[in-house]
Amino acid sequence: MMIVSRDHITGFAVGVGVSALAYYLYKKNEDKVDQLLRDRGIEIPVSAKKDFNSMTLEELVGQKEHIEDLIAEKEMINNQLSVAAPTE
């Protein structure tokens, strides 16, 4: 059985603090960090809170395609349900 020492607790507390700081800094600079990652070829989903007027054309087209895919899926499910439902 492993005994938890003061060093373990200190390490855990420091880890939680550093993680919280990193998360805060990321959220504060989220748009800049996401754009930096996109520029390097890493696909980052566009945040839902983003204003459509401030989006680039590429981001708007991506959102449009995503919405069209969702609509097609829901229409397909509704069509399958209406075909499967017995009519009296």
pTM over 0.85: no
Asked if residue 87 has pLDDT above 70, the reply is: no
Q: Give me the pLDDT at residue 21, please.
A: 97
| Euclidean distance between CA atoms 44 and 67, whole angstroms | 17
Write the pLDDT tens digit of every residue in 44-85. 876 666 788 888 899 899 889 999 999 999 999 988 887 776
Q: Give me the pLDDT at residue 59, please.
A: 86
SS3 41: coil
CA 62 to chain centre: 14
Q: Give me the pLDDT at residue 8, please.
A: 95
